[in-house]
Amino acid sequence: MQALFVNQLTTLDFSYLCPKRGLVGETWLVDVVLGGELDQQGMVFDFVHVKKQVKASLDNLSDHRLLIPLKAGATAITHNQEQIVVSFTTCHGKITCSAPAQAVLLVDAEAITPELLTPFLEDAIQPELPDNVTTVELRLYPEDIGGAYYHYSHGLKKYDGNCQRIAHGHRSQIRIFVDEQRDQSLEAWWASQWRDIYIATKEDLQGSFSEDDVEHYRFSYTANQGYFELSLPRSHCYLIDTDSTVELIASHIARCLAGRNPDKSIRVAAFEGLNKGAIAMYSEPSAG
């Protein structure tokens, strides 16, 4: 048997539910190894098709979706062909989400980890491959980030693509420069404020309610793919005046930090997952 490999075939940006952490935005890289017999071209599988077909399958399955661990013990699901409603109990309070079925992935596992998600994805991809490809091995892993980073979830209702889904997310590093000098302590502070956060647009806030003495926010909107609704503990929400594109997130961070550092120039590089993001610069004069 022969095998071929493609490292960093794709990047999966998604959110998942965790009993301890709540709603978690995540970014994982994917390596793939395909094993089997050589075809008439002397190949296990054409690299062009690996990069198109296998990547597309992985993206369609889990990219920009909310992943639900069905065996977590705190999960209740109701659904029809078009809409899924999830209720999930965490240490911080209850999370509920109503979304089109294509925005959610139900995983038959106790938790969403690379080790538990890998066989699920391998089994889903195998039937789509040619008969001579007999094995699929995936490796899922987070980016090795040397500095500060945060996990965030959001939804972009005006976006035509899958970013419109109300609960998808990213694991993102941040770089902050004060008067063009990198300030890693400030990066670490901001990242600590946004640990496992849901960044929401104020106009999408439909109200608040208390359950088990925990205050919750409820958000909803209708986008091209359908109706989306999400409620989660207020303590894990961060409201902004604008949409939550990475450009507007970077601008928001820069303005906030400039307000705390008058007469200083602030430059923020906010990442959205792996190797992409936005840069914003801001300075606010002192009152004097």
39-49, pLDDT tens digit by residue? 888 888 888 88
Structure tokens at 18: 């965790």
The answer to whether residue 213 scores a pLDDT higher than 80 is: yes
> How do beta strands 265-271 and 277-283 pair?
antiparallel
180 within some domain: no
**What CATH number does residue 159 fall under?**
3.30.479.10
246 within some domain: no
Q: How far is it, in rounded angstroms, from Cα 127 to Cα 268?
A: 45
Confidence at residue 267, expressed as pLDDT on a 0 to 100 scale: 98
- The model's confidence at residue 23, banded by pLDDT at 50, 70 and 90, is very high
Dihedral in degrees, nearest 10, Cα atoms 188, 194, 196, 200: -160
The answer to whether residue 288 scores a pLDDT higher than 70 is: no
Express each pLDDT in 136-172 by its tens digit: 999 999 999 999 999 999 999 999 999 999 999 999 9
Give me the number of domains the chain comprises. 1
275 within some domain: no
List, in order, residues 6 or more apart from 26 with CB less than 8 Å away: 12, 13, 14, 15, 16, 112, 142, 151, 169, 170, 171
Q: Please, are residues 23 and 17 in contact by the beta-carbon 8 Å criterion?
A: yes
Region 29-35: mean pLDDT is 95
Confidence at residue 131, expressed as pLDDT on a 0 to 100 scale: 87
The residue segments making up the domain with residue 71 are 2-171+199-235
Give percent of the chain above pLDDT 70. 98
